[in-house]
Chains A and B, each alone.
Chain A
Amino acid sequence: MSDHHHPTGIKRWLFTTNHKDIGTLYLWFSFIMLLIGGSMAMVIRAELFEPGMQVVEPNFFNMMTTMHGLIMVFGAIMPAFVGFANWLVPMMVGAPDMALPRMNNWSFWILPFAGTMLLMPMFMGGDFLQGQGPAFGWTFYEPLSGQYNKLGFFIFAVHLLGFSSIMGSINIIATILNMRAPGMTLMKMPLFVWTWLITAFLLIAVMPVLAGAVTMMLTDKYFGTSFFDAAGGGDPVLFQHVFWFFGHPEVYIMILPAFGIVSQIIPTFARKPLFGYASMVYATAAIAFLSFIVWAHHMFTVGMPVAGELYFMYATVMIAVPTAVKVFNWAATMWKGSMTFETPMLWAIAFVFLFTIGGFTGLMLGVAPADFQYHDTYFVVAHFHYVLVTGALFALIGGVYYWLPKWTGNMYSEKLGKLHFWLSTISVNVLFFPQHFIGLEGMPRRIPDYNPMFADWNMISSIGGFVFGASQLIFLYTVIKCIRGGEKATDQVWEGAEGLEWTIPSPAPYHTFETAPEVK
């Protein structure tokens, strides 16, 4: 390999077109966002620790729930998966880099500006403590969001995030379809690559829909149109249809790559091939297809015709079939394996258990008559945190531990990794499991204060939340320690690991596969 000239210092990161550098940028960006969004969750749990208002004003509380959701979805989870794709897709398919390296640079560098624009109104003019940032929920339903007088910042931030996601997706699709090594047929691709290929198509399909929704908000607010304003002949429910046509595929965008990561980790530590590779690919595609035709199950109470409610109920519960196929496959992969339980495997196993609980409550929510009781309560909050925190985030953390030795060349501390795992897994259940009970008992979501009958579980949930939040600092410490040094990793790293990324040295050299490998 020739010694390649590239800039150093800040310029290396600003001008980089290297997929590994860009992957690293994405991962650090999303971790910072995770800490910011997490701090907001701490404010929420502090206010809900006891009944009565103790910490913040109601509007500030609404701003916290809103910004927490937006930051976690658009700032933490989505960019983290793009970071993984950048690091791993070229290495997994035997490509030297991403297909469109300059666009890759741009799709990352839009993000810090978009994030800043999203956060900015919180600190502009007026009184910070009264909550002057977006406070209309991460779903920004009209007409409530239209009442907000700094809406433009939010709209342009969403547009920028959309540009970034679409460019990232184009790049991933182009890389996977055009840059695979000879012999790497589609049905030989690692499952992580498959799930990202499907996710990228979902992103390209729905991000423009989101852009359309916020553009209509923009013209309603500033140019006198009435898309969502009934007084001008518009339809507030139209907003929800458009939003959820984006929003439902969006939740799969955040979980399909997690399925991919878990499908890499479990076979490695079970030392046994994935039970049904082909059916996993088909199940992923089926879930992606279904995600487009179930959106209105988020809106059972808006007053749809009963035929519509029946259709959306049937289509929604159907998702349980391909999802069950996936869970059965992971269980069958572990069955009669020769398992060891290094940190990545612990996170992957916890993912399968806890994501499945989120799937179960998802099925319950899909049953329309019962959803009329669950809708907009803490039961829903518990459900989507089981799929997004113990689902998406757990897979991401497991993935970091799994590939960290390949990225840094050093082994992380198993002791710290396991401490991080056990603290997180116990506390996350103390945090979210009681929220099922609070919701069934009748506590609506997005309220800053509540009747004392909800007090007991709220306090337990808050305690779990504080411990879970603090545990993530162990993660930060463990990762930094691993970057700085540690026991040297072998090329293979894990005894059972298979795939092209484990054939190159650890740490992965700056340029890999400049000559394409042969895949048999």
Chain B
Amino acid sequence: MSASKTIKTLSRLLCAALLLGPAIANADYELNLMPGVTEISQMQYDLHMLVLWLVTVVGILVFGVMIYSIIKHRKSKGAQAAQFHESTTVEVIWTIIPFAILVAIAVPATKGLLEMEDTSKYDMSIKVTGIQWKWEYDYIDEDGVKFISQLDEASENARKLGSGVDVTTVENYLLDVDNPIVVPSNKRVRLLITAADVIHAWWVPDLGVKRDAIPGFINESWFYAEKEGTYRGQCAELCGKDHGFMPIVVKVVSQADYDAWVANQKAAASASAAEDTKTFGMDELMARGKGVYDKSCAACHGPTGAGVPGVFPAMAGSKITTGDIAAHIDIVVNGKPGTAMAAYRSQLSKADLAAVITYERNAFGNKTGDVVQPTDIK
């Protein structure tokens, strides 16, 4: 849209001239909303620009009058105070004008909102579940395509206090995940959004979607992306300690690539199901358990199992990790309601659950010697 491009250029120049002339030389100083890649995000952008221009014009007029009086009507220039006040005509006029402007805004806004909230048509559906601090995606039309998506390892390591990593060298720092969500282009994708613990919000600016993920509720939203590409977003609702570290990555690909990806996912799922009845050795479980722990548990309970005193319980020497095995399995599998401890039943495979519980019972100085097998997880 060339008109909006001109507007964008103009508004940048205006902002630059008005505010921070010298700073603008660096191209990184982004100023405005992006039009995004869907009709909805374009509509949001157009409304944004419409209102921005209207208030800019009103602002120039009102501030102009004030600046003029500040310069001209000052005592030091010998200005005598007029004593006029109260004028019904003037007051009626300046009540009606803002009202008319509001009507002009309300018409396109109503049209846009109705279009945006129409979730009646869709080609495919993905259930999105916000979990402290990751996303679970369940392709409900494709059996077995269900996975957890969380901050990628490079960002995860770099973002620690005192990590010593220069984060500007990390590609897509804090905006990359281990398992991105993949969708075909030119399809109307319906999102069914909910949460497992607290309220999160699924937001990808380029797709024009932001919707709260609320435990116990299923919210609907949708997008239709024509352009293939990778679109990034973040959780937008404060959801606890690592709210800033649960990004969203959406890959829009061709139908053929999408089909191949789905086939791959299904193969991986059946491989993982086969493990549910397998018996593992202690060393195998410990090695696998450490990987699962570092990824899923360490955020709260700490990489050394020390927890955070007063906030998150320690693993080292705790009653649960050194006590009754059944109770330990129960808290990991079913979580602890009313706390940040999530139910991992749906997040981890039985093999992963068995591995991480075995690990917790035998690491951090816990020497129970217990081995938990996938078949122990009910």
Nearest-neighbour CB distance to chain A for B292, whole angstroms, equals 22
Nearest-neighbour CB distance to chain B for A516, whole angstroms, equals 28
The residues of A that contact B338 with a CB separation of less than 8 Å are: 146-147, 221, 229
* In the assembled complex, B282 has its CB within 8 A of some CB on chain A: no
Question: B28, B75, B94, B241: which contacts A339 (Cβ < 8 A)?
Answer: B75
Bound-state CA distance A421–B322 (Å) is 62
B101-116 CB mask vs A (1 if < 8 Å, else 0) is 0100110011011101
Give residues 118-173 of A contacting B (CB, 8 Å).
124-127, 130-132, 135-137, 141, 143-144, 146-147, 149
The residues of B that contact A441 with a CB separation of less than 8 Å are: 30-31, 34
Give residues 453-490 of A contacting B (CB, 8 Å).
453, 455-457, 460
The residues of B that contact A270 with a CB separation of less than 8 Å are: 73, 81
Quick check: B234 and A447 within 8 Å, CB to CB?
Answer: yes
The residues of B that contact A367 with a CB separation of less than 8 Å are: 47-48, 51, 105, 109
* In the assembled complex, B349 has its CB within 8 A of some CB on chain A: no
Give residues 190-231 of B contacting A (CB, 8 Å).
197-199, 201, 203, 205, 208-212, 214-217, 219-220
* In the assembled complex, B240 has its CB within 8 A of some CB on chain A: yes
Bound-state CA distance A149–B59 (Å) is 48
Given the known interface contacts A132-B311, A301-B210, A339-B70, the answer about A272 and B83 at a Cβ–Cβ threshold of 8 Å is yes
Q: Which of A47-55, A90-98, A104-112, A175-183 contacts its partner? A: A47-55
Quick check: B203 and A237 within 8 Å, CB to CB?
Answer: no
Quick check: A369 and B210 within 8 Å, CB to CB?
Answer: no
* In the assembled complex, B85 has its CB within 8 A of some CB on chain A: yes
The residues of A that contact B330 with a CB separation of less than 8 Å are: none
Quick check: B159 and A53 within 8 Å, CB to CB?
Answer: yes
Bound-state CA distance A334–B205 (Å) is 43
Bound-state CA distance A131–B63 (Å) is 44
* In the assembled complex, A449 has its CB within 8 A of some CB on chain B: yes
Quick check: A373 and B210 within 8 Å, CB to CB?
Answer: yes
Given the known interface contacts A132-B310, A460-B23, the answer about A144 and B28 at a Cβ–Cβ threshold of 8 Å is no
B155-176 CB mask vs A (1 if < 8 Å, else 0) is 0001111110111100011110
Given the known interface contacts A325-B95, A452-B168, the answer about A337 and B82 at a Cβ–Cβ threshold of 8 Å is yes
Number of interface residues of A (CB under 8 A): 108
* In the assembled complex, A320 has its CB within 8 A of some CB on chain B: yes
Give residues 126-182 of B contacting A (CB, 8 Å).
158-163, 165-168, 172-175
Quick check: A375 and B236 within 8 Å, CB to CB?
Answer: yes
Nearest-neighbour CB distance to chain B for A244, whole angstroms, equals 14
Given the known interface contacts A52-B167, A126-B311, the answer about A364 and B70 at a Cβ–Cβ threshold of 8 Å is no
Given the known interface contacts A356-B62, A373-B48, the answer about A302 and B69 at a Cβ–Cβ threshold of 8 Å is no
The residues of A that contact B48 with a CB separation of less than 8 Å are: 364, 367, 370, 373
Quick check: B309 and A127 within 8 Å, CB to CB?
Answer: yes
Quick check: B243 and A62 within 8 Å, CB to CB?
Answer: yes
Bound-state CA distance A57–B30 (Å) is 28
Bound-state CA distance A55–B161 (Å) is 7
Q: Which of A149, A335, A363, A372 has the most CB of B within 10 A?
A: A372
Quick check: B69 and A301 within 8 Å, CB to CB?
Answer: no
Given the known interface contacts A318-B102, A356-B62, A357-B59, the answer about A440 and B244 at a Cβ–Cβ threshold of 8 Å is no
Quick check: A236 and B80 within 8 Å, CB to CB?
Answer: no
* In the assembled complex, B99 has its CB within 8 A of some CB on chain A: yes
Quick check: A452 and B173 within 8 Å, CB to CB?
Answer: yes
Q: Which of A7-15, A206-214, A274-282 contacts its partner? A: A274-282
Quick check: A144 and B238 within 8 Å, CB to CB?
Answer: yes
Give residues 48-92 of B contacting A (CB, 8 Å).
48, 51-52, 55, 58-59, 62-63, 65-66, 69-70, 73-76, 79-87, 90-91
A sample of 21 inter-chain contacts (CB < 8 A) reads A53-B162, A59-B311, A126-B309, A127-B309, A132-B311, A277-B85, A303-B220, A306-B113, A313-B106, A317-B106, A328-B94, A337-B73, A340-B76, A353-B63, A356-B59, A356-B62, A372-B116, A440-B30, A442-B233, A449-B167, A456-B23
Please give 20 more A-B residue pairs, beta carbons under 8 A apart, in addition to A146-B338, A230-B215, A276-B91. A51-B173, A58-B241, A236-B217, A237-B217, A273-B83, A303-B214, A306-B113, A321-B102, A324-B95, A328-B62, A334-B73, A336-B69, A336-B82, A357-B59, A372-B208, A373-B44, A442-B34, A449-B167, A450-B174, A455-B28
Which residues of A approach B to under 8 Å, CB–CB?
51-59, 62, 124-127, 130-132, 135-137, 141, 143-144, 146-147, 149, 221, 229-231, 234-237, 270-279, 301-303, 306, 309-310, 313-314, 317-318, 320-321, 324-325, 327-328, 331-341, 349, 352-353, 356-357, 360, 363-364, 367-370, 372-373, 375-377, 433-434, 437, 440-442, 444-453, 455-457, 460
Which residues of B approach A to under 8 Å, CB–CB?
15, 19-20, 23, 26, 28-34, 40-41, 43-45, 47-48, 51-52, 55, 58-59, 62-63, 65-66, 69-70, 73-76, 79-87, 90-91, 94-95, 98-99, 102, 105-106, 109-110, 112-114, 116-117, 158-163, 165-168, 172-175, 197-199, 201, 203, 205, 208-212, 214-217, 219-220, 233-245, 308-311, 337-340
